[in-house]
Amino acid sequence: MNTLDALQLLSLFGHFLVLSLLAIGGAITTAPDMNRYLVVQQHWMTDAQFTASVAIAQAAPGPNLLFVAVLGWNVAGALGALATMTGILLPSTALSLWVTRWGYSRRETRGVRAFTTGLAPLTIGLLLATGWVLATPTATHPGAVLLVAGTAAVMLRTSLSPMWAVAAGALMGALGFA
């Protein structure tokens, strides 16, 4: 864990403030840019620390957003967690409240319907980019690659619950195959 000065904390807050407005489909869709900023640009964490932070937070019960607090905590302790969480929550919450009220009163207009329909492919693309970033550290392990490919095939071809894929991944990891 680093000790960041006030300017660095403000920079951390500001970056997550901007990411909040790009988080279509949830904060997890901005994980590739979080990785770029925290790992590649600032060198505040390693790639393995980043991936572990996201994985630990996603495995914990609670909101999907918890990984943002874990990243902030790993960068600068409690102040880092406060900076990242406030940054990611403040603009998107305010904007969501305003847009929801505005959109609800205009929900049947062509523009609002087109906008909501157009968000689906954008969200899917952002989720694929997130999967790519999170899978990169394990890309050299054949068992992990096989697990990802198998999971994708099963999810595309069946209506099987994703929890079976999670259980298979846990079993393969416990046995040392992934």
> b vs e for 115-129, b when ≥16 Cβ sit within 10 Å of the residue's Cβ?
eeeeeeeeeeebeee
The predicted pLDDT at position 1 comes to: 58
pLDDT tens, residue by residue, 19-53: 998 887 788 889 999 999 999 999 999 999 999 99
Cα–Cα distance between 161 and 108 in angstroms, integer? 33
Q: What does the alpha-carbon distance between residue 159 and residue 152 come to, in Å, rounded to a whole number?
A: 12
Regions of the chain with pLDDT less than 50? none
pLDDT of residue 163: 83
Q: How far is CA 157 from CA 4, 40, 123, 146, in A?
A: 48, 36, 21, 16
Cβ pair 12, 72 in contact under 8 A? yes
Q: Count of CB atoms within 10 A of residue 30's CB? A: 25
| Model pLDDT, residue 100 | 87
pLDDT at residue number 178: 64
Of 34, 2, 1, 59, whose CA–CA distance to 130 is shortest? 34
Q: How far is CA 115 from the centre of its chain?
A: 23
Query: What pLDDT is stored for residue 109 in this prediction?
Result: 92
* Cα–Cα distances in angstroms (integers) from residue 3 to residues 38, 47, 77, 87, 109, in the given order: 14, 19, 8, 19, 50
